[in-house]
């Protein structure tokens, strides 16, 4: 395989330009229950309880889980679930890697006392889990090369096992772009996915290492934010990859996760997971021991609506040697209190990136990565505007900061 172009993209990287690395972020919620009563941890309980740090709140580690329909795990995560099949008496590949990382990096969680033992009734009901939320492989064929985009979504979740609610979450979104002259085989795709999630130097665990420090217990008065609605306009569709054109709702989820990842990375707010089905505010997790637990995503204090109006390209300059195209992303961002419809921020945002196309280039331009960079730039601009707006900063962001 002649891989001539491989990019791993960090979704929390503020630079809107294509670069060499990638990864992501997290989110949060409210510490409401007053009762440290009956906590049931589904897994990772075969480790002896480690020493406790009495100054920091205890949080038990619950391991790795797949999000969504338990019986559809093999359908929704075809590559990862296959990698994750362990021997009868062994944990799966991702579970083993995840547990190994958290045990080795326990000290990085400086604001909590991460425990790997069996929770007793009097212990905290709070647990930390890494959940996989998305696995997408987007192959595309151009006239003389084959492109491969792999997108993996994760959520580092703080869960309340007593109340069965999501306390908060930090989304992690990693992406790998590769190209070759020949089509990518299933084995080659699986090999790349494995590399994205195996070992401390992998994209996933590099991202996780950055987020450990920010994990803490949300205070009783701290508020939550949630990306509640994403609208993908018709003018955006022509620029999307084929898979997304067929399923704009799936793209809307990716947009929500990318925005959430950037927002938590830049503003450190307590974010609740995006509810794909809108009214259906549940998150179902299948843990490594095959137990399935439904968690309720509580109503957020504040909501964010993203209206992706569309993308646009304009020829800026053209010479005999090359053409300079400007690709723009156009958004509407609304931050509001959903119950009483009190709007704190509502503004259009646009961002453009340039793309030079040499006259010698025979093939068409692969526009999706370019508009994705423009979208990311628009997200960063929007988040900066939200943070700069005194009203939104004081009344929303400050109240949601962890």
The residue (of 335 and 353) whose beta carbon lies closer to another protein is 335
The residue (of 3 and 90) whose beta carbon lies closer to another protein is 90
* Interface map 225-264 toward another protein (x if CB under 8 A): ----------------------------------------
Q: Which one of 128-136, 234-242, 278-286, 377-385 is the stretch in contact with another protein (CB under 8 A)?
A: 278-286
Which of the residues 36 through 65 are near another protein (CB under 8 A)?
37-38, 40-43, 45-46
d(CA 45, CA 370): 46
The residue (of 26 and 43) whose beta carbon lies closer to another protein is 43
280 binds another protein (CB under 8 A): yes
We find the least distance from the C-beta atom of residue 108 to another protein, in angstroms, to be 26
The residue (of 223 and 306) whose beta carbon lies closer to another protein is 223
CB of 111 closer than 8 Å to CB of 56: yes
Q: Which one of 114-122, 137-145, 177-185, 311-319 is the stretch in contact with another protein (CB under 8 A)?
A: 114-122
We find the least distance from the C-beta atom of residue 301 to another protein, in angstroms, to be 6
The residue (of 221 and 362) whose beta carbon lies closer to another protein is 221
Token pair of 179 as six digits? 């190209």
Among the listed residues 321, 210, 237, 224, the one whose alpha carbon sits nearest the alpha carbon of residue 281? 224
10 Å CB burial of residue 56 (0-12, 13-18, 19+) is middle
We find the least distance from the C-beta atom of residue 190 to another protein, in angstroms, to be 24
Q: For residue 357, give every residue at least 6 positions away whose Cβ sits within 8 Å of its Cβ, in sequence order, or none.
A: 322, 323, 324, 325, 365
Q: How far is CA 351 from CA 217, 332, 373, in A?
A: 35, 12, 9
d(CA 44, CA 369): 39
When binding is defined by CB under 8 A, the residue of 6, 17, 19, 342 that contacts another protein is 342
The residue (of 54 and 88) whose beta carbon lies closer to another protein is 88
DSSP secondary structure code for residue 46 in this structure: S
* Interface map 168-207 toward another protein (x if CB under 8 A): ----------------------------------------
The residue (of 42 and 268) whose beta carbon lies closer to another protein is 42
Q: Which one of 18-26, 217-225, 308-316, 351-359 is the stretch in contact with another protein (CB under 8 A)?
A: 217-225
List phi, psi (to 5°) of 224.
-125, 155
362 binds another protein (CB under 8 A): no
CB of 158 closer than 8 Å to CB of 212: no
Angle between helices 186-197 and 203-211 (to 10 degrees): 20
10 Å CB burial of residue 343 (0-12, 13-18, 19+) is exposed
When binding is defined by CB under 8 A, the residue of 48, 88, 279, 321 that contacts another protein is 88
d(CA 203, CA 10): 8
| Four-CA torsion 387, 390, 392, 398, nearest 10 degrees | 70
Chain positions contacting another protein, by CB under 8 A: 30, 32-35, 37-38, 40-43, 45-46, 68-72, 88-89, 91, 118-122, 220-221, 223, 277, 280, 282, 284, 289, 291-292, 294, 298, 301-302, 337, 339-340, 342, 344, 395, 399
């Amino acid at each position: 395989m002649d891989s001539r172009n491989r990019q791993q993209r960090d979704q929390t990287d503020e630079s809107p330009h294509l670069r060499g690395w990638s990864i992501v972020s997290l989110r949060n919620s409210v510490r409401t229950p007053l009762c440290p009563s009956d906590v049931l941890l589904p897994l990772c309980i075969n480790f002896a309880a480690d020493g406790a740090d009495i100054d920091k709140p205890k949080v038990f580690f619950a391991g790795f889980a797949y999000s969504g329909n338990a019986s559809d795990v093999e359908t929704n995560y075809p590559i990862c679930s296959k990698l994750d099949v362990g021997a009868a008496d062994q944990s799966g590949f991702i579970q083993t890697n995840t547990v190994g990382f958290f045990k080795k990096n326990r000290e990085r969680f400086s604001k909590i006392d991460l425990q790997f033992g069996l929770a007793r009734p009097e212990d905290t009901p709070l647990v930390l889990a890494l959940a996989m939320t998305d696995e997408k492989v987007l192959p595309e064929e151009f006239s003389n090369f084959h492109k491969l985009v792999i997108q993996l979504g994760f959520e580092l979740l703080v869960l309340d096992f007593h109340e069965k609610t999501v306390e908060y979450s930090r989304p992690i979104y990693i992406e790998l772009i590769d190209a070759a002259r020949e089509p990518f085989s299933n084995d080659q795709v699986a090999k790349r996915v494995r590399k994205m999630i195996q070992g401390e130097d992998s994209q996933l665990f590099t991202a996780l290492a950055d987020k450990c420090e920010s994990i803490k217990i949300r205070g009783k008065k701290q508020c939550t934010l949630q990306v509640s609605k994403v609208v993908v306009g018709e003018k955006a569709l022509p620029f999307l990859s084929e898979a997304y054109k067929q399923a704009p709702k799936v793209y809307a989820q990716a947009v929500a996760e990318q925005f959430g990842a950037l927002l938590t990375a830049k503003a450190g707010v307590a974010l609740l997971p995006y509810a794909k089905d809108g009214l259906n505010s549940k998150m179902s997790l299948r843990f490594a021991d095959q137990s399935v637990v439904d968690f309720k995503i509580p109503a957020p204090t504040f909501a964010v609506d993203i209206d992706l109006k569309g993308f646009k390209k304009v020829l800026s300059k053209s010479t005999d040697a090359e053409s300079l195209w400007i690709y723009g992303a156009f958004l509407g961002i609304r931050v509001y209190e959903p119950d009483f419809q009190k709007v704190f921020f509502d503004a259009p945002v646009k961002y453009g990136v340039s793309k030079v196309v040499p006259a010698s280039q025979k093939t068409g331009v692969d526009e999706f990565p370019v508009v994705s960079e423009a979208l990311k730039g628009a997200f960063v601009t929007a988040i900066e505007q939200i943070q700069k707006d005194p009203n939104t900063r004081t009344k929303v962001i400050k109240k949601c900061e962890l």
